[in-house]
Every structure is written in C-alpha cells, then in structure tokens.
Amino acid sequence: SQQGEEDPQALSIQEGENATMNCSYKTSINNLQWYRQNSGRGLVHLILIRSNEREKHSGRLRVTLDTSKKSSSLLITASRAADTASYFCATDVGGDGRQLTFGSGTQLTVLP
C-alpha cells in the first residue's frame, strides 16, 4: 500500500468555506510535502513541513503534522473556485527530496 493515504478521496464545498484534507503514513519521515494538481497539468509543490515542526502556514494554507499519529492535515481557508484541484501528500523518508512517496490524492471541488 502507499506510504501516504489521503482522506477523503473527494470533497465538495461552497466557495468561502474551509477545506480540510488528511494524510496518514506508515513509516518515520524527514518531511512531508503537499502538492496540488489541476486537471490536465503536472503537480505543483505547495508546502513542506519538517518532522520537527507541528504547524506551518502559507497564505490561505495551514498544514499540521502529528508524528506520533503519523498524520498530517491540509487546511485551505476561504476557498475559491480556483482551488478546485487534486491535492496529494508526499512523504520524504531520506530528507533529500529524491525519494518521495505520493498518496492517492483528494479531489477538491469548490462550487461558486
């Protein structure tokens, strides 16, 4: 099974609402990264959180990491229609960014 597993698999919300996506993983990691993929495009890096960090912010994004539970969450506040995309977590065990294991992704739909 994959190192990172996101839930829910799909999420549909209204514009302006917050969206929360979760990621669980199995082994110890150096860092965890979140990526976004718009339909028909490549993945784009959003944010990286190191194993010694608990929370990180970037604009409307808030990421938490709980290494004791081996889980992370991505919160998008005040969502917009343009946030509609698939979101993937990726675990980095070695810490050098060369061996990322991607989860199966959460498809987020933000309705205008």
Partner 1 sequence: DAGVIQSPRHEVTEMGQEVTLRCKPISGHNSLFWYRQTMMRGLELLIYFNNNVPIDDSGMPEDRFSAKMPNASFSTLKIQPSEPRDSAVYFCASTKGGLAGREQFFGPGTRLTVL
Question: Does the protein bind partner 1 through residue 28 (CB under 8 A)?
Answer: no
Q: Which of 9, 54, 55, 97 binds partner 1 (CB under 8 A)?
A: 97
Q: Look up tokens 């995309």; give the residue.
A: 85
Output 96 or 112, the one with its CB closest to partner 1: 96
Question: Does the protein bind partner 1 through residue 88 (CB under 8 A)?
Answer: yes
Interacting positions 47-86 with partner 1 (CB under 8 A): 48
**105 with 95: CB under 8 angstroms?**
no
Q: Look up tokens 């996101």; give the residue.
A: 6
- Cβ neighbours of residue 59 closer than 8 Å, sequence gap 6 or more: none
Question: Does the protein bind partner 1 through residue 26 (CB under 8 A)?
Answer: no
